[in-house]
């Protein structure tokens, strides 16, 4: 935990500077806590409060808790006020503790200073002050900032305590991947899909950084810290319908009530109390006025001469919504790792959370390899060239998943070109997807290169289409070497790439939500590997598969709306047998 102080003369602007720094630094994703030293006659508790009475009666420690916050008060009696160190030790889990006051303590401080007050800066006599944030002209040998230039003051403070702009807020969120993280145990040959997934899940961790942003801009982002309701929803009991409100108990004297003057509308509450024998006009969403606990629909009354006659007796509390019946203030409403969709933005906003801590999107590089590949749209049309179809596919897939795609272009099948591409992008991306050259053939340079220089493990996964998946760390960046065939590249991305990237991005491991559907095809499948067939659901509700399983058949990817997953074991599938269908949407595509 780092500490930094703000000090200054009375009216020098200390608290304002504290306030702006807290907001700025926590807005950059760091957890900020504060300590404030109060003057002699300031107190935490006040005469007449319940806790005051507890303390007066002799309680040694008193905890006051509400749905919003809690505090522990300790009586010092004849004991000494705790030292600053002892107080700092009471703070839990902050990146930075900002301290207001405690002029004479030894921690470094910035002085908030206004020339108009007519003092000399405290810094002239206090060597623990290392910078000045001033309004007006000041001469000082120390670093000098404008009092209102919060951004620069925050940069300075963060640099001073070693939380540079590039360091990761929240300490605990960023971890490094181990260099041998993809290593397979000796002797492992074919890896079943489930085992490959379990290995990926156990060796990868979130590497995402945290930033704060306005809730309204956070669609598609991943929550980095859990969100706690600041306000109840609804904040107060209100009416669910347009009608008339009264006290239920008053109905024991009859179903005719006197209509009071005025009304309660949403945003325009009725002031005053509705008495026994009275009813008040109330509209949907309006707060129940004092004395009202029950509402009847306007269609269920007859009005005459300022009298409301109920057609029948309602139940106690009917047509009302209780305060907090949806969400109670102080309740954790969303946990870290939750993807924010429009629905979550509504929930966060309704419970008073206008700003959220979210993960920064990962930057994911995409590199295609192969001598035969040319850029889309190239003039060359000879038969031995292949348009690079994987790059637009993978770049857009990454974008659809909420990461930031980084186009690394094309590399020919030479070690030098591939090394160049990997090194050029080094440090600027959080992970790299390559396609092509992942097998063990002569021209499979990705495999050879990563094996010799980058801690490669070639995972021969028992899966069709796909099989070789080259997993390696290149200077600390994970590289996922996908097969070159677009069909295999897409299937491997959906099955292995999506959960792996999602874990790196802070959203946790994502499994596609499939469902069982009757087969509209027949197939005989051998034992030993899992198969994914390009599939879609027909009008009879059966799942059909693409006519050819050839992994060069790109048209089948587009024909399909998802994949049928066939188990590792052998299988004889007849029409009507239940098979597992994974729609593209279940892979976030
Ligand atoms: P490889 O994995 O490099 O052996 O490639 C397998 C097959 O996929 C070959 O027919 C390649 O031409 C083809 N291929 C590789 N990369 C791409 C790409 N980016 N776009 C289209 N086809 C590709
Ligand atoms: Mg190739």
Residues paired with 390 in a beta bridge: none
Q: Which residues contact 87 (CB under 8 A, 6 or more apart)?
A: 35
Per-position DSSP letters for 14-55, written without gaps between them = HHHHHHHHHHHHHHTT--EEEEEPPPTT--SS-TTSHHHHHH
**Confidence at residue 589, expressed as pLDDT on a 0 to 100 scale:** 95
Q: Name the phi and psi angles at 95, rounded to 5.
A: -80, -35
Nearest CA to ligand 1 atom 8: 485
Q: pLDDT grade, residue 294 (50/70/90)?
A: very high
Q: How confident is the model at residue 79 (pLDDT cuts 50, 70, 90)?
A: confident
Least confident of 17-21, 52-56, 76-80: 76-80
Judge whether residue 293 has pLDDT over 90.
yes
Instruction: Give the Å distance between the CA of 369 and the centre of ligand 2.
Output: 6
pLDDT of 279 over the 90 cut: yes
The predicted pLDDT at position 247 comes to: 97
Would you state the pLDDT for residue 169? 47
Alpha carbons 537 and 547: distance in angstroms, whole number: 14
- Mean pLDDT, rounded, for 32-56: 88
Give the pLDDT confidence score for residue 393 in this predicted structure: 98
What pLDDT score was predicted for residue 302?
96
- The pLDDT of residue 330: 85
Instruction: Look at residue 166 and tell me whether its pLDDT is greater than 50.
Output: no
Per the document, the length of the chain is 589
CA of 378 to the centre of ligand 1 (A): 17
> Cα(331) to centroid of ligand 1, in Å?
52
Nearest-atom index, ligand 1, CA of 410: 19
* Residue-level pLDDT at 164: 61
Helix residue spans in 366-439 (DSSP H):
390-400, 415-425
Distance 177 CA to ligand 2 centre (A): 28
Nearest CA to ligand 1 atom 14: 484
Higher pLDDT, 6 or 48: 6
Residues with CB under 6 A from ligand 1: 368, 370, 372-373, 386, 388-390, 435-439, 483-486
pLDDT on residue 440 = 67
**Residue 416 C-alpha to ligand 1 middle, in angstroms?**
19
Report the mean per-residue pLDDT for the chain: 90
Query: pLDDT tens, 192-251?
Result: 999 889 988 988 888 898 888 999 999 999 999 888 888 999 999 999 999 999 999 999
Q: Which ligand is nearest to the CA of 395?
A: 1
Ligand nearest to the CA of 468: 1
Atom of ligand 1 nearest to the CA of 483: 2
Residue with tokens 């760390």: 473
159-173, 187-201, 409-423: lowest mean pLDDT where?
A: 159-173
C-alpha 488 to ligand 1 mean position (Å): 10
* Ligand minimally distant from the alpha carbon of residue 370: 2
Give me the mean pLDDT over the 59-80 stretch: 87
């Amino acid at each position: 935990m780092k500490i930094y102080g703000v000090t200054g003369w009375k009216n020098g602007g200390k608290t304002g500077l504290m306030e702006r720094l807290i907001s700025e630094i926590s807005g950059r994703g760091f957890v900020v806590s504060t300590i404030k030293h109060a003057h002699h006659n300031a107190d935490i508790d006040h005469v007449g409060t319940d806790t005051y009475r507890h303390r007066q009666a002799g309680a040694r420690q008193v905890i006051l808790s509400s749905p919003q916050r809690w505090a522990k008060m300790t009586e010092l009696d004849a004991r000494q006020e705790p030292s600053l160190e002892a107080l700092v030790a009471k703070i839990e889990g902050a990146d930075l503790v900002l301290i207001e006051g405690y002029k004479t303590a030894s921690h470094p401080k910035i002085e908030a200073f206004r020339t108009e007050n007519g003092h000399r800066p405290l810094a002239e006599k206090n060597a623990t002050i290392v910078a000045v944030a001033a309004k007006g002209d000041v001469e000082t040998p120390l670093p000098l900032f404008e009092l209102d230039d919060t951004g620069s003051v925050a940069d300075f403070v963060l640099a001073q305590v070693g939380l540079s702009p590039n360091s990761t807020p929240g300490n605990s969120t960023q971890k490094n991947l181990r260099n041998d993280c993809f290593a397979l145990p000796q002797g492992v040959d074919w890896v079943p899909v489930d085992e490959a997934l379990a290995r990926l899940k156990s060796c990868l961790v979130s590497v995402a950084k945290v930033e704060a942003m306005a809730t309204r801009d956070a669609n598609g982002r991943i929550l980095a810290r859990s969100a706690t309701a600041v306000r109840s929803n609804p904040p107060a009991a209100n009416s669910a319908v347009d009608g008339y409100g009264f006290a239920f108990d008053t109905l024991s004297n009859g179903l005719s009530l006197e209509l009071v003057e005025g009304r309660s509308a949403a945003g325009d509450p009725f002031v005053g109390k509705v008495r026994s024998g009275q009813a008040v006009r109330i509209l949907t969403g309006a707060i129940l006025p004092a004395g009202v606990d029950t509402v009847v629909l306007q269609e269920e009354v007859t009005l005459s001469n300022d009298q409301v006659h109920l057609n029948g007796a309602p139940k106690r509390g009917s047509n009302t919504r209780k305060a907090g019946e949806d969400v109670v203030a102080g309740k954790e409403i969303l946990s870290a790792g939750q993807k924010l969709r429009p629905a979550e933005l509504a929930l966060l906003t309704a419970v008073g959370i206008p700003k959220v801590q979210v993960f920064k999107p990962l930057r994911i590089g995409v590199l295609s390899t192969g001598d035969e590949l040319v850029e889309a749209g190239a003039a060359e049309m000879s038969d031995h060239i292949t348009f690079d179809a994987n790059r637009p596919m993978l770049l857009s897939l990454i974008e659809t998943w909420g990461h930031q795609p980084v186009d690394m272009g094309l590399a020919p099948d030479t070690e030098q070109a591939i090394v160049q591409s990997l090194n050029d992008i080094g440090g600027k991306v959080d992970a790299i997807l390559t396609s092509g050259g992942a097998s063990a053939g002569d021209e499979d340079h990705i495999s050879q290169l990563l094996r010799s220089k980058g801690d490669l493990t070639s995972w021969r996964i028992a899966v069709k289409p796909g099989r070789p998946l080259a997993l390696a760390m290149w200077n600390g960046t994970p590289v996922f070497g996908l097969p070159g065939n677009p069909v295999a590249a897409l299937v491997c991305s959906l099955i292995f790439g999506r959960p792996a990237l999602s874990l790196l991005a802070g959203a946790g491991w994502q499994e596609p939500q499939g469902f069982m559907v009757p087969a509209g095809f027949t197939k005989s499948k051998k034992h030993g590997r899992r198969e994914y067939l390009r599939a879609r659901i027909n009008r009879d509700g059966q799942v059909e598969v693409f006519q050819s399983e050839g992994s060069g058949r790109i048209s089948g990817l587009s024909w399909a709306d998802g994949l049928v997953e066939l188990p590792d074991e052998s299988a004889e599938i007849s029409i009507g047998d239940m098979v597992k269908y994974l729609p593209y949407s279940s892979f976030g595509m």
